[in-house]
Amino acid sequence: MQLTINGEQRDVQSDTVGSVLSELGMDQSPCAVEVNRALIPARKRDEHPLNNGDVLEIVTLVGGG
């Protein structure tokens, strides 16, 4: 499936938000995820389906001071 992730076209094998995060090695990272401009709650990522052509924005959270 082809997705746009953070502005970059990518081919992925995954079909849910949670599995894409795993495929990218980000499943343990605190992050916010939007699919087609809709924020996906962390508790729903594993069940949220993706379709060919979807646009994902993944923002990692970094603390500092």
> Are 50 and 14 contacting, i.e. CB atoms less than 8 angstroms apart?
yes
Long-range own/partner contacts, residues 8-17 (CB < 8 A, 24 or more apart) = 14/50, 15/49, 15/50, 16/45, 16/46, 16/47, 16/48, 16/49, 16/50, 17/44, 17/45, 17/46, 17/48, 17/50, 17/56
What domains lie within the chain, and their CATH numbers? 2-60 (3.10.20.30)
Q: What pLDDT score does 61 carry?
A: 81
pTM of the entire structure?
0.89
Q: pLDDT tens across 20-60, in order?
A: 999 999 988 899 999 999 999 999 999 999 999 999 999 99
